[in-house]
Structure 1
Amino acid sequence: MQKLAYSRYGPETVRLVDEWEAAIENMQRLSHEDKLIEANRFFNTRIQWAQDPDTWGRPDYWATPLETMGRGMADCEDFAIAKYITLILAGVDSSQLRITYVKAQLPSEGGPALTAHMVLAYYPSANADPLILDNLITEILPASQRSDLTPVYGFNSLGIWVGGARNPASREPESRLSRWRDLLRRAAEEGLG
């Protein structure tokens, strides 16, 4: 991945990719909870939040981890995707992770406002209260303690879940989410698939 990082983004990105790969190697020896902390911290401290039009010049783009590290900027989808892929590479089973589209209650001048947001949810067991990895609130908390978030749908490579459903509404996320399908294709081309 270093050659690709260098040719697309230059030496600074190669250093960040090296740090990422070392972090993933180190995470493989950690408990799942510590893996979550490390993945969350890695991206929340190294990547700056920015909207897609500022980063990519288009309204909505789902970036691979390499693209995120190359630009050094990401929106909430990119943070969730980077953490998802990092945790899978560190040995967390994809069935325990869901990239989750939520309505987030954010403070604003006229009072709290609902806005579209994406987080990564980790399920220690199938029916557990998931832990939420977020780029806005960096402390990892159970979903039951995140009253500011209302889940709309979650997905991973195995399916799509609507709201807080325990069973997937679809087991074909690539056919339902074109941005997810495109992201997986690009990640595979980068050697992550």
Structure 2
Amino acid sequence: MQHTRTQHGAAGAQRVERWLAMLERAASEPDVPAQLVVVNAFWNRNVREGVDAAIWKQEDYWATPLETLGRGIGDCEDFVIGKYFSLVHLGVPPDRLRLIYVRAQVGGASIAHMVLGYYTRPDAEPLILDNLRDSIQSAAQRRDLTPVFSFNADGVYVAGAARASVDRISRWQGLLLRMQQEGFQP
């Protein structure tokens, strides 16, 4: 906590403390769907939407949950990363979660976006956790999203292709290394 306070001040440390309290509260929820609601709401309410160029002075940066909470601002990937690792920390099997790149219809434009999918079974339609909406909906209900590809710790998934190694996603590897350096183990 002292590292977060030194890096991001009292406000950043308070957000991390609220995250830890939320994880403790969510662990007592009766089932995974209830945990999804708690985790989605926490990240959507405690982090403001921003762009990497303004936040990190980089074109595309995947922040760790501690970095995102420290600054209190993130882009869609940062929201998804925070939700993913919160749920993994709570014991949700990583193979039930996928970080999904989509094309999202926002204000009449098609934008690159990322959401988190929760799968009750490997072949199930996922429930979508998104920073653009507070409600969790099935993928079929999200007609504004067109999936491009998805990934998790087990691999990269593209419709019609064999699963590929997640090692191909260098930003994921860099993120995991920085999380390890922060001492965060999901």
Matched-pair contact (CA < 8 Å) for 2:15–2:72? no
Residue of structure 2 in register with 1:4 after alignment: 3
Q: For this pair of structures, how many residues does the alignment match?
A: 184
- 1:182 maps to 2:181: no
Residue of structure 2 in register with 1:20 after alignment: 19
Task: Give, in whole Å, the separation in 2 of the partners of 1:115 and 1:83.
Answer: 21
Residue of structure 2 in register with 1:87 after alignment: 87
Deviation at 1:168, TM superposition (A): 5.3
Task: Give, in whole Å, the separation in 2 of the partners of 1:40 and 1:139.
Answer: 8
Judged with a 3 Å threshold, the aligned counterparts in structure 2 of structure 1 residues 67 and 95 are, in CA distance, closer, same or farther, namely same
Residue of structure 1 in register with 2:150 after alignment: 154
Matched-pair contact (CA < 8 Å) for 1:96–1:124? yes
Task: Give, in whole Å, the separation in 2 of the partners of 1:60 and 1:6.
Answer: 25
The TM-score with structure 2 as length reference comes to 0.95
The TM-score with structure 1 as length reference comes to 0.91
2:147 counterpart letter in structure 1:
P
Larger mean CA deviation between 60-69 and 11-20 belongs to 11-20
Deviation at 1:3, TM superposition (A): 2.0
Judged with a 3 Å threshold, the aligned counterparts in structure 2 of structure 1 residues 74 and 127 are, in CA distance, closer, same or farther, namely same
Task: Give, in whole Å, the separation in 2 of the partners of 1:27 and 1:90.
Answer: 8
Task: Give, in whole Å, the separation in 1 of the partners of 2:19 and 2:72.
Answer: 13
- Local SS of the residue matching 1:70: helix
- 1:169 maps to 2:168: no
Task: Give, in whole Å, the separation in 1 of the partners of 2:72 and 2:64.
Answer: 12
Q: How big is each residue's C-alpha offset from its partner over 1:128-171, in whole Å with a ceiling of 9 and x where there is no partner?
A: 110000001221000011111111111111111114x6x8521x
Matched-pair contact (CA < 8 Å) for 1:97–1:121? yes
Residue of structure 1 in register with 2:127 after alignment: 131
Task: Give, in whole Å, the separation in 1 of the partners of 2:8 and 2:177.
Answer: 20
2:52 counterpart letter in structure 1:
D
Q: How big is each residue's C-alpha offset from its partner over 1:62-99, in whole Å with a ceiling of 9 and x where there is no partner?
A: 00001101111110010000000011111111010001
Gaps of 5+ in 2: none
Task: Give, in whole Å, the separation in 2 of the partners of 1:34 and 1:169.
Answer: 30
- 1:119 maps to 2:111: no
Gaps of 5+ in 1: none
Task: Give, in whole Å, the separation in 1 of the partners of 2:86 and 2:58.
Answer: 25
Task: Give, in whole Å, the separation in 2 of the partners of 1:13 and 1:80.
Answer: 19
RMSD over aligned Cα, in angstroms?
1.3
Matched-pair contact (CA < 8 Å) for 1:159–1:168? no
Matches within 5 A, 1:30-109: 30=29, 31-107=31-107
Deviation at 1:189, TM superposition (A): 1.0
- 1:192 maps to 2:166: no
Q: What's the % identity of the aligned pairs?
A: 42
Judged with a 3 Å threshold, the aligned counterparts in structure 2 of structure 1 residues 154 and 190 are, in CA distance, closer, same or farther, namely same
- The runs of at least 4 aligned residues of structure 1 exceeding 3 Å deviation read none
